[in-house]
Structure 1
Amino acid sequence: SVTDKDGLVHEHKTGFVGFTQCQSHHRFRMGGSQVHMNAHPPTSVSSAQRSYFEPAAHNPAEQFERTGNLELAYQQGKNEVTLVGNVAEANAGYSFSLNGKLGTAKGGDYTCIRSKQVYKQGCANDPKQVAYHSESVCVPRGEPIRIAPPEHSPKPMVFTATVRSLSGSKTNPHLDTQGQYATQVHFDNQVTESVKRLTQYACRGQKQPTGLHFPLLPDSNVLIGCMNNDPDQSYILGFALNDTQPSVVTSANNAQNVLCSRGQNLLMFDDTLHTPHIVLQTLAGNQHLVLHGDKKQPYIHWLAQLGAMNIFAAKDIQLGSVKSAIRLLTNKTFIASAKQQL
């Protein structure tokens, strides 16, 4: 129904252009405004649903600007009016006046902030099924328009990342003066510097640094954790095994406890039943020491396949055997000397 020039309300069933449905949405907030632009994450319960720490600002001016835009975008939705009709021009940015007699919404000037055009296709049997209508969401014209902030991308407590080298090196990772790494997570296209790494068995307050550390090579996959689910407080949990870097212990050697470095220096505790042993060796086992705990015939095996073996003691060297003899074999010259008595 439309009020014509004669002041009477007339029904216009054909040739009508306007809105046929109107729905008003109001949003109320209890308490004062809680906007956190520096807290990571928000520290109060009332603002837990609106955390503004992503993305983080780089200076105070940018912090205030982002905070203001986010707060205005939130206040923009306090009084929204949804109109349904056949006004094709009612797109985002379109301003118009509403008649105050609608009942569900106050009359006045409104601005469309988003709209949707809906078309329905008919069929050959019933061509009258062809239909069209528009849905427009409007706010009072005096409300400042701000684009709503994007939804926060989901960030689990633990996710994978890749160790990067800022110098482009393939062998040496980027480590700062504190021993922290540069990493890149899968949902970011930039490299994050100075990511902490959890260290096992470290002691503070020592004259020299103590702890256990294995360098991470560039392009290594690591597990990143976030304190309180805050990406600005991330740390490296450990190494994420993959096809290019398999585990040193598999089903083939599941009885072994292995500590192996990048240069293949290895310390192994083998817990095989009846034949437990300890192996300390260098690359390819060219120099190794085996402490074999075989129940039937335990022994110690000390081998240097490359180079020389030097034994030196400041006082005495004692070689003894209870049952068998001690044999010294050499392919060339054997020299034994002493300053006092041999």
Structure 2
Amino acid sequence: MTRTVTVGFPAVWDIAEWETSHANGERPDRWPYGLDRLDDQYDLRTVALSSRGYLPQFQSRRSQRRGVAIGWEESSVARLVASRRFEHVVGGVIWNTDPPVNARDRAVKALYRRALKQASALWCLSRPQVALVEAILGRDRPAVHFLKFGIDTDYYRPAPLPLQPLVLSAGGDRDRDIPTLYAAMAEIKAARPDTQVVVQTASDHPVPAGIVRVQRLSHRDLRDLYGRASIVAIATRFNHHVSGMTVALEAAATGRPVVTTDTPGMSDYVDEASGRLTPAGDAGAMAAAVVGLLDSPRQLRDLGRAGQHRVLTSHSTKTMSSAIGEIVASLSH
């Protein structure tokens, strides 16, 4: 009999609308993070998780726990554990290794860690983060796995390199380093005035002359812009959860080399065979790496092809879901 697995998503996400949007070609994957691809291994169900309070269901009682539940990150994992409905809860840890920003954040992280210790298995998308999570949770913790992140390689497809050089940066998570990015982009523009530079960001940091800032892009528009780009550049602050990996993999799937900040775990997604890694906060190094590739069309093309091959073989949501399925399969019935 096929095992039933429940996937918990934040209640603010309308999964039916997500499926419709995907069917219309407006976004990658039928469910967030491609977790729908587990349906070739398990009988999938979804549950909406309330975001009210810290752990709104933590005091609820259930006489019998059944089945397996999956949460993508610690907030969802904590709510699934707190519901006391499931025999096993597995999921990811992303933000809990970040230093707390205030007293409330410290309290939330402590509650989440309490719940994470009650999970049956956990994963991190960053290899170095695994040891941090193990240390934070201490003894009597569940197994913590390294899970290679993946993207929808059916949605992001190879595109020919453009005739007009264009350097693109996209993404807006809290660890993006916009000042360093803008400084690098200004150096690129000065060295290669023929190059168009486009940055997608909601940051209100002053934009250097010659750089086009776009506040938001749809998935479809961003996909098209990857296809028009020559190189994708990503600047982040130091972090352990591989900020920027989604854009890096989407760009690589399109056949574009990626120049990004060398933070812990990023080398599992971008390496010297598919792009360039530069020190955190070093705008000059990032600019030099980008200009060097623009000046070497053959190398730019070869790196793009290598990155595309790497994503197709190791970083699709299909391969990622298969790895999650193996974690679930390892749990006792």
State the TM bucket, normalised to the shorter chain: under 0.3
Q: Which structure has greater helix proportion?
A: 2
Greater relative contact order, per chain length (Cα 8 Å cut-off, separation 6+) = 2
**Structure with the higher fraction of residues in strand conformation:** 1
Instruction: Return the TM-score normalized by structure 2.
Output: 0.20
